[in-house]
């Protein structure tokens, strides 16, 4: 077997790609030594050049594809290779779905130790372009000093100038043009993160796909946007424009948004619908970015929950109450728990907006709120169904323990990371539950991310 030290930088090899990593990079073996190759696909035969070596693995770049994989396609976007936003545009959409389906399966097998997996077909998008309702464009200058907006190149803060993005809402093109025009004309400065000077850091846009409502928010390193009235003047007549805001972020940080927003024109939020429910979305709220697939995802969660109208349901990690309200249509009572106070404020407003009075929300960490409430009830608190939708790191073990004590008939696990999902399912299935349904949903076409919904049923004791 090769050792890293025997291989030199820029040395070239002919390889066949055998696998794709969880982040979408190709994997090839050089006599047992593993190479990771960005933008390579299973089945590609390619000439690659070594970039960096470690003892047991290394990184190489594609020099030439000798024979392409059968599912290799020409990316639609001209900057697909350099932009860090998409990792899989060179893989046919069918191929991407297959990759995501396999990713879920292999995590459940390897990490979860599951054998007979009740896997259902992944829900793909009918239109895998222009699906995102939210964009956060960094603002910078090119080498001629012209203002540019775009996306960061993979793993860097170098901005790729893209006034058009194929996965974003089409409305963005004109919004970005107008904001750039305003900044050039009014000589508004651009934020420079290396010396923490300049004003405009990011442009945030949100588009309600079902309502057509548009929000534009400039994130600034200061308290005031000079000549704001000129910006309002140029944006307000765009069809659908509903909210023009600034967000103040004066911190030296990688976090995009600061805590404070100010409305320049219009409302504080835009509205959008998922199914029959209307949601108010402010710049700081978490809201799923792909509304079409979200409808399918929540529909699946609702189907798995199998509600008849008599159930008590807990929705943990509820955000602005999106899943909670969806479930409340069919449940007796829903309790939502979420750690971000502003999100709970939105959740309460959303419940009122939709005239739903069978939902109650708690602010706090799910792993603290649920055990507290359970202890307070002296173990009598009921739950027929518990839904969890945690961030990538999954659930705390203490939360899973309380869930097991509460003995719900069903647990519906919505996950954005198959690895932590598999870990948590293993824990639950070793303690009285059985994995009865698994379904993937592609919320982020052309990226390596995949969302999964699972149903766990309590085993008869
Ligand atoms: N179910 C919602 C949000 C899912 S994203 C939706 O579909 O829109 C995960 C949410 O978990 C985020 O809103 C995040 O703020 C919240 N969160 C993160 N850690 C948490 C914790 N320990 N307890 C409760 N909520 C948490």
Task: For residue range 208-225, list pLDDT tens digits in order.
Answer: 999 999 999 999 999 999
User: pLDDT class for 286, splitting at 50, 70, 90?
Assistant: confident
Lowest-pLDDT choice from 79-83, 249-253, 309-313, 398-402: 79-83
Residue nearest to atom 1 of ligand 1 (CA): 318
- Asked if residue 5 has pLDDT above 90, the reply is no
Higher pLDDT pick, 258 / 460: 258
* pLDDT for residue 154: 75
* pLDDT for residue 64: 97
Q: Is the CB of 343 under 6 A from ligand 1?
A: yes
Terminal CA-CA length for the chain: 52
Q: Please, are residues 257 and 284 in contact by the beta-carbon 8 Å criterion? A: yes
* pLDDT for residue 377: 85
Enclosing H/E stretch for 452: strand 451-458
In 3D space, the residue among 133, 249, 241, 244 whose CA is nearest the CA of residue 201 turns out to be 249
Choose the most confident range, by mean pLDDT, from 84-88, 279-283, 353-357.
Answer: 353-357
Judging by DSSP bridges, how do beta strands 270-274 and 277-281 pair with one another? antiparallel
Distances (CA, A) of 410 to 297, 333, 454: 17, 15, 10
How many Å lie between the centroid of ligand 1 and the Cα of residue 332?
23
What whole-number distance in Å separates Cα of residue 358 and Cα of residue 95? Answer: 43
Q: Structure pTM? A: 0.92
Q: Is the CB of 294 under 6 A from ligand 1?
A: no
Q: Please, are residues 69 and 42 in contact by the beta-carbon 8 Å criterion? A: yes
Q: Please, are residues 208 and 270 in contact by the beta-carbon 8 Å criterion? A: yes
How many Å lie between the centroid of ligand 1 and the Cα of residue 136?
20
What whole-number distance in Å separates Cα of residue 450 and Cα of residue 100? Answer: 6
Task: For residue range 16-57, list pLDDT tens digits in order.
Answer: 999 999 999 999 999 889 999 999 999 999 999 999 999 999
Q: What is the largest CA-CA distance in the chain?
A: 72
Tokens of 312: 């008590």
| Span 101-130, average pLDDT | 97
Tokens of 166: 């194929």
What whole-number distance in Å separates Cα of residue 44 and Cα of residue 157? Answer: 30
Task: For residue range 182-197, list pLDDT tens digits in order.
Answer: 999 999 999 999 999 9
């Amino acid at each position: 077997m090769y050792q890293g030290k025997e291989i030199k930088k820029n040395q070239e090899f002919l390889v066949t790609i055998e696998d794709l990593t969880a982040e979408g990079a190709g994997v090839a073996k050089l006599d047992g030594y593993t190479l990771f190759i960005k933008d390579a696909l299973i089945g590609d035969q390619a000439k690659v050049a070594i970039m960096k070596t470690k003892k047991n693995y290394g990184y190489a770049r594609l020099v030439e594809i000798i024979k392409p994989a059968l599912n290799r396609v020409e990316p639609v976007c001209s900057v697909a290779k350099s932009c860090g936003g998409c990792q899989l545009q060179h893989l046919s959409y069918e191929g991407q779905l297959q990759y995501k389906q396999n990713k879920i399966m292999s995590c459940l097998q390897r990490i979860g130790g599951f054998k007979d997996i009740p896997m259902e077909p992944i829900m793909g998008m009918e239109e895998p372009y222009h699906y995102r309702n939210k964009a956060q464009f960094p603002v910078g200058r090119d080498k001629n000093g012209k203002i540019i907006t775009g996306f960061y190149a993979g793993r860097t803060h170098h901005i790729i100038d893209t006034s058009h993005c194929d996965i974003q809402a089409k409305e963005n093109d004109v919004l970005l043009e107008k904001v750039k025009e305003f900044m050039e004309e009014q000589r508004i400065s651009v934020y420079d993160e290396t010396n923490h000077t300049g004003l405009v850091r990011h442009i945030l846009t949100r588009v309600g796909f079902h309502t057509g409502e548009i929000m534009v928010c400039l994130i600034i390193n200061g308290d005031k946007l000079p000549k704001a009235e000129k910006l309002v003047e140029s944006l307000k007549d765009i069809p659908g424009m509903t909210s023009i805001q600034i967000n103040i972020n004066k911190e030296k940080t990688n976090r995009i948004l600061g805590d404070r927003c100010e409305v320049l024109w219009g409302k504080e939020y835009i509205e959008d619908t998922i199914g029959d429910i209307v949601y108010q979305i402010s710049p700081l709220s978490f809201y799923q970015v792909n509304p079409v697939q979200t409808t399918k995802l929540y529909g699946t969660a609702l189907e798995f929950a199998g509600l008849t109208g008599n159930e008590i349901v807990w929705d943990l990690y509820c955000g602005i109450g999106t899943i909670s309200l969806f479930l409340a249509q069919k449940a007796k009572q829903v309790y939502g728990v979420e750690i971000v106070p502003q999100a709970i404020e939105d959740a309460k407003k959303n419940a009122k907006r939709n005239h739903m009075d069978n939902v109650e929300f708690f602010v706090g960490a799910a792993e603290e709120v649920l055990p507290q409430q359970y202890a307070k009830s002296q173990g009598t608190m009921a739950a027929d169904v518990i839904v969890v939708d945690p961030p990538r790191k999954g659930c705390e073990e203490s939360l899973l323990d309380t869930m097991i004590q509460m003995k719900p008939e069903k647990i519906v696990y919505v996950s954005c990371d198959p690895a932590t999902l598999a870990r948590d399912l293993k824990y639950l299935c070793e303690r009285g539950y059985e994995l009865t349904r698994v379904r993937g949903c592609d919320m982020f076409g052309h990226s390596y991310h995949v969302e999964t919904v699972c149903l766990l049923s309590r085993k008869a004791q």
